[in-house]
Chain A
Amino acid sequence: MGLTANSTGARLIKIQTAERSQKNQKLIALAGNPNVGKSTVFNALTGLHQHTGNWAGKTVAAAVGEFSTQNYSYALADLPGTYSLLAHSAEEEAARNFICFARLEAVVVVCDATCLERGLNLVLQITEICPKTVVCVNLIDEAKRRGIEVDLKALEENLGVPVVGTNAHDKRTLKRLTRSLDELCGGTLSTKPRKLRYIRPIEDAISLIEPLLKERVNCPIPPRRTALALLDDDLEFTREIEKSAGMRLSEDSEISAAVKQARDLLLQNDITAEILKDRIVSCIMLNVEEALDGAVKRTDRRVSKADKILTSKIFGFPLMILMLLIVFWITIVGANYPSELLSRGLFWLGDRLGKLMTFLNAPEWLSGLLVDGAYRVLAWVVAVMLPPMAIFFPLFTLLEDLGYLPRVAYNLDKPFAKCKACGKQALTMCMGFGCNAAGIVGCRIIDSKRERLIAMLTNVFVPCNGRFPMIITIITLYFVSASGFAGSLLSALALTAVILLGVLTTFGVSRLLSATILKGEPSSFTLELPPFRKPQVGKILARSLLDRTVFVLGRAAAVAAPAGAVIWILANVTIGDMTLLSHITGFFDPFARFIGLDGVIFTAFLLGLPANEIVIPLIIMSYMQLGSLSELAPAQMFELFSANGWTPVTAVCVIIFTLMHFPCSTSLLTLKKEAGGWKWAALSFVLPTICGMISCAIITNLSKFFVG
């Protein structure tokens, strides 16, 4: 479900109960704006690996990790990144409720040294509720490099709570943070947080309610903050406070009267409900400016040269395409050799397994089912899937870590806005080139549910690593006769055309969806373009391999083995004088021919549900009437296909259908989980399939009409 209140809320409640069961652990919360290195601090402290990336809004549900110092053991909850606690979104509400009601020992607020204003906005709101706060000014080295000097002592004095400077990548700097926490929790350090001051009328209004609350309400929230919530008519927050205090504030006649009187006072000063919200925000900002006074010396941030070039009118798009091409090229070329090695190794092991089965006197059908079926397909999927993913994901993560991906979204937002979708969809689309399942997970970064669904449903229109080799094979077999450099250049161009078709379809279908079942206006779009950061190569490798590659491979393998068994049964069990597979291909043949394919190709796509990588081996297997997946050299493959009636039009249709058909089982499972229902998974199955069938049918029948 990604970013909904449900998932964040549920998880937080679990954390609270977990905390109660372990009384000796001190529960602290880690808060901060999005994209300030909060997750990096979290990882560095707890050693728990959580995915971090250089864009806003990465932490989707709160994670909890543990760490110990000499004095205490701590449970650290990583709250969703928020800009304020005025609770406008589900994440803010979750973060605020946690800070207010989880009985925390302390809060650590992570700020970005290069952008302290926004961080302090949150800090002041947090210290107002929880005085035991440590401010962690992160990325202090980077700030220095960019000419921003933060005087931590002065800041500490201004804020009244301990301030430590850290570079989360450098574990030693975190010592200061843990020392402050120990002191704070041990009571050897007391804080005197800066009070948030509002303009006169608001202060007057607060002072009408505050004493009453102090007297009558027993709640961890400072009465001053409760008074503000009542004035602001913040119903959600008031409800939480009432729950905690065990009384209905609105039913207390004196409090209600005081609130009414205070609101009247505000109205006399022309402060209506809507204006009040603004004034509160502005006042907090003024407080921030005061708190920063004398603590920060800066030469204003300029947009870097790299940024100007990467987002320029002339170079923006060519560079983006070039970058994409380089990534593909490295992936495809680099994956060849390890793929071959891996498949040789795995198939060798398969032979041994077969021999073992014979040795054990296993019946032939069992050995066939397990070794030729389940194992062979599993080995095939692993061999062709693992190397490209192991290359693509680190490359992609590198671009993510560097901060290039938000620029892609910035460049591509306009066409997405035209389709009433979100520019961040550009990022999930790029990720889809690696793996659609990973792309679908990535859609969590899109805030609006409608736009997120659009992005998930259209992700499959960009070909993933599993489909690239297939498209390239057919392009080289049927459309590129030149060899060597000219040949590979031509194939690259043809491939680019296919990709562009996929991208255009993404736009078209996004537009279609937002005009029909996912109707709505584009939501507000604000995208932070973070400064470029030096990527951390070691972490990139670990993260992309562990988090993404293994995850995707695991899901694929889980389906591949049983599918392998099914394929073996279909290819080896005969009814009458034909195998089951032949019966099926025969059944689909008339329809498949109508859309320019044939029964074998269509069945291969169906059986290739666990992984598109096995579609071509399946086609070869069916044409040659073999019992298990097999490979052929290109020349023989061309001969075999042509002998089975393939024309260039068939090849075009196969390419189109490869681009547009139902997603693989991994993507479907992922989509069901992320979108929250089989309904959406079913739609994601039907939508591209229909697009593909219609396109193929038009192409075949037009070509029949013209060519005869």
Chain B
Amino acid sequence: MKICTLNELYVGERAVVKALDTKGAMRRRLLDIGLCCGARVECVSRSPLGDPSAYLIRGAVIAIRAADCRGVIVRRI
């Protein structure tokens, strides 16, 4: 269960990005914010309605929707 998608991380869990399984605009957005292979992320909070969640990525906290996180494959650490 070490490999999962980003949206499956619980608050407080950390992971390393293994692959991006998205295309087009979302892929570029994810790369822009630093979510490329090898990047470390931590899920830091979930919004009151359960979506989106906030992730600590390279020093910045960024909210991403679960639907968009499904394309980010990570390995828990």
A contact set with B: CB distance below 8 Å: 83-84, 88-89, 114-118, 121, 278, 281-282, 285-286, 298, 300-303, 307-308, 311-313, 316-317, 406, 409-411, 413-415, 417, 423, 522-531
Which B residues touch A413, using CB under 8 A? 47, 49, 51-52, 63, 65
Does the CB pair A303–B59 fall under 8 Å? Answer: no
**A115 cross-chain contacts in B, Cβ below 8 A:** 58-60
Which of chain B's residues have a CB closer than 8 A to the CB of A409? 63
User: A117 to B59, alpha carbons, bound, how many Å?
Assistant: 8
Known: A83-B32, A88-B25, A413-B63. 18 other contacts (CB 8 A): A118-B59, A281-B31, A285-B38, A300-B56, A301-B56, A301-B61, A303-B61, A316-B47, A411-B48, A411-B49, A413-B47, A414-B50, A415-B49, A417-B51, A423-B52, A524-B30, A527-B63, A530-B61
Establish whether residues B48 and A316, one from each chain, have CB atoms under 8 Å apart when the complex forms.
yes
Q: B20 interface residue, CB < 8 Å from A?
A: yes
Complex Cα spacing A313 to B36, Å: 30
Q: In the complex, A411→B53 CA distance in Å? A: 10
Instruction: Give the docked Cα–Cα distance between A317 and B36 (Å).
Output: 34
Chain A residues within 8 Å of B31, by CB: 84, 278, 281
Across the A-B interface, the 4 shortest Cβ-Cβ residue pairs: A316-B48, A524-B26, A83-B32, A414-B49
Q: Is the CB of A121 within 8 A of B65?
A: no
Contact in complex: A303, B44 (CB < 8 Å): yes
The answer to whether B52 touches A525 (Cβ under 8 A) is yes
A–B Cβ pairs within 8 angstroms, 6 of them? A118-B58, A316-B47, A524-B68, A526-B30, A528-B60, A530-B61
**Structural contact, B48 and A312, CB atoms closer than 8 A:** yes
Task: List chain B residues, Cβ under 8 A from A414.
Answer: 47, 49-52
Q: What residues of chain A lie closer than 8 Å to B65, measured between beta carbons?
A: 413, 417, 522, 525
| Contact, CB under 8 Å: B34 / A285 | yes
> Bound complex: CA of A424 vs CA of B38, how far in Å?
30
Inside 8 A of B61's CB, which chain A residues have their CB? 301, 303, 528-531
- Give Cα distance in the complex from A312 to B45, angstroms: 9
Instruction: Determine whether B37 belongs to the interface, using a CB cutoff of 8 Å to chain A.
Output: yes
Closest to A312 in B: B48
Name the distance in Å between B54's Cβ and chain A's nearest Cβ: 6
**Nearest chain B CB to A289's CB is how many angstroms away?**
9
A281 to B38, CA, bound (A): 11
Q: Please, how many residues of chain B have a CB less than 8 angstroms from a CB on the other chain?
A: 34
A409 to B49, CA, bound (A): 12
B28, B54, B63 interface centre (most CB from chain A within 10 Å): B63
Which of A117, A423, A526, A531 makes the CB contact (< 8 A) with B29?
A526
Hey, which chain B residues are within 8 Å of A282, CB to CB? 36-38
Chain A residue with the shortest CB-CB distance to B56 = A301
Cβ contacts under 8 Å, B20 to chain A: 278
Asked whether, in the complex, the Cβ of A311 is within 8 Å of the Cβ of B45, the reply is yes
In the complex, the answer to whether A524 meets B29 with C-beta atoms within 8 Å is yes
Taken together as a complex, chains A and B put the C-alpha atoms of A413 and B48 apart, in Å, by 10
Question: In the complex, which residues 3-57 of chain B have their Cβ closer than 8 Å to any Cβ of chain A?
Answer: 20, 25-26, 28-34, 36-39, 44-45, 47-52, 54, 56
CA separation between A117 and B62, bound complex, in Å? 14
Min Cβ gap B47→A in Å is 5
Residue of A whose beta carbon sits closest to that of B50: A414
Chain B nearest CB from A125 CB (Å) reads 12
Residue numbers in A under 8 Å from B34 (CB-CB): 117-118, 121, 285
A92 to B54 Cα, complex, angstroms: 25
Cβ contact within 8 Å between A526 and B64: yes
Q: How far apart are A469's CB and chain B's nearest CB, in angstroms?
A: 32
Which chain B residues border A303 with CB–CB below 8 Å?
Answer: 44-45, 54, 56, 61
| Across-interface contacts of A529 in B (CB, < 8 A) | 54, 61-63
- Nearest chain B CB to A507 CB, angstrom units: 13
Query: A118-B58, A526-B64 are known contacts. Are A278 and B48 too (CB-CB below 8 A)?
Result: no
Set of chain B residues within 8 Å of A523, measured between Cβ atoms: 25
The minimal Cβ–Cβ distance linking A527 to chain B, given in whole angstroms, is: 4
Contact A114 B59 (CB under 8 A): yes
- In the complex, what residue of chain B is closest to A148 when comparing beta carbons? B59
Complex interface: chain B residues within 8 A of A278 (CB): 20, 31, 36-37
